[in-house]
Amino acid sequence: MRYRLFGKHTGLRVSELVLGAGNFGTRWGHGAEPDEAARIIDTYAEAGGNFIDAADSYQFGESEEILGDLLAGRRDEFVLASKFSQRASPKDSILVTGNSRKAMVSSVEASLKRLKTDRLDLYWVHYADGVTPVDEIMRGFDDLVRAGKILYAGLSDFPAWRVARAATLAELRGSIPLAGLQVEYSLVQRTVEFELLPAGDALGLGVVGWSPLGGGMLTGKYRKGEKGRAEGLGGKVFQAENSQQRTAILDTLIAVAGELGVSPGEVAIAWAAAKGPFPIIGPRSVEQLQANLAAARLTLPPDVMTRLDAVSALAPIFPHSMLNDPANRQRITGGKFDDFVQPIEAVA
């Protein structure tokens, strides 16, 4: 396993594949028993993995409880991340859900108890509630850092303009910087390339991509009659093969995998990793984990990346359709666009 810095605002050296703990537990009716979760953690660690992503809502708190037991005595060997915003219990009230400072404080205290630790290395807002100002969120994060409850903070599943505002507010105030951004990213979910990934790049955020296998669709197993997430979680976090383009993507993926002598899932994860984000793998068994980890040893040739990029490409949206128009590029550079050396990194 190779390691990379988590963004430009931290010195965290994290493994290139993140272990998602959403399948640790069975309170959702679909997941891994504690013994299997233990084997998954051990196998991941033996492969060099050191970045675990959890949430208070996963398996209604059982995921964090299992992690708390499994990390005893080796807590400092991992970057432990968790999230808040949803319910850790079906009985939780409106006051402990959403993005408010009250929900944040209540949630982090409960997560720390379940995880049997005194702090979280990275704390995410699970997703935007649409009503809490990012000013309140960032002030809440700053308070938790000063209290020693968390070390770094990030936003998951937020619009790019709100991510940019949060990062800017923190920068202007000299408070804890926004460290990370989490998004869904795969060959069948590339819309984040229009705004969110460039925002993460320009703002120096560590970007984590969940569901690089499209909920398992990109393994090709559902063509063989397997059910998995298509039914196990009520169809949630599952990308169906429901369009001509998606069928073409999976056909190409399977063909490429055959040519390289690897599995389609390995290719899908390796493609996502090659684009920059840290892919989150969320296995339910050691066998699934081992198949996912194989992607860390795979480097896709340029021609393969080109084929996969082409078959999964999306039609441009405004303003990118205008800004990337060749004629407009020439106008904005006085007719010298082909001679202008573009910056390597996105500019905020």
Catalytic site positions: 58
CB 280 within 8 A of CB 27: no
Backbone torsions φ then ψ of 120, nearest 5 degrees? -105, 140
Asked if residue 108 lies in contact with residue 123, where contact means CB atoms within 8 angstroms, the answer is yes
Contact predicate 246/273, CB 8 Å = no
Q: How many CB atoms lie within 10 A of CB 299?
A: 10
Asked if 219 and 265 touch (Cβ cutoff 8 Å), the reply is: yes
Cα 2 to Cα 76, 162, 270, distances in angstroms: 19, 31, 13
The helix/strand/coil state of 161 is helix
Cis geometry, peptide bond prior to residue 212 (ω within 30 degrees of 0): no
Question: Which residue is it, tokens 């194989």?
Answer: 294
Helical spans, DSSP H, in the chain: 34-46, 62-70, 101-115, 134-146, 160-173, 196-202, 229-232, 244-260, 264-274, 286-293, 302-312, 320-323, 326-332
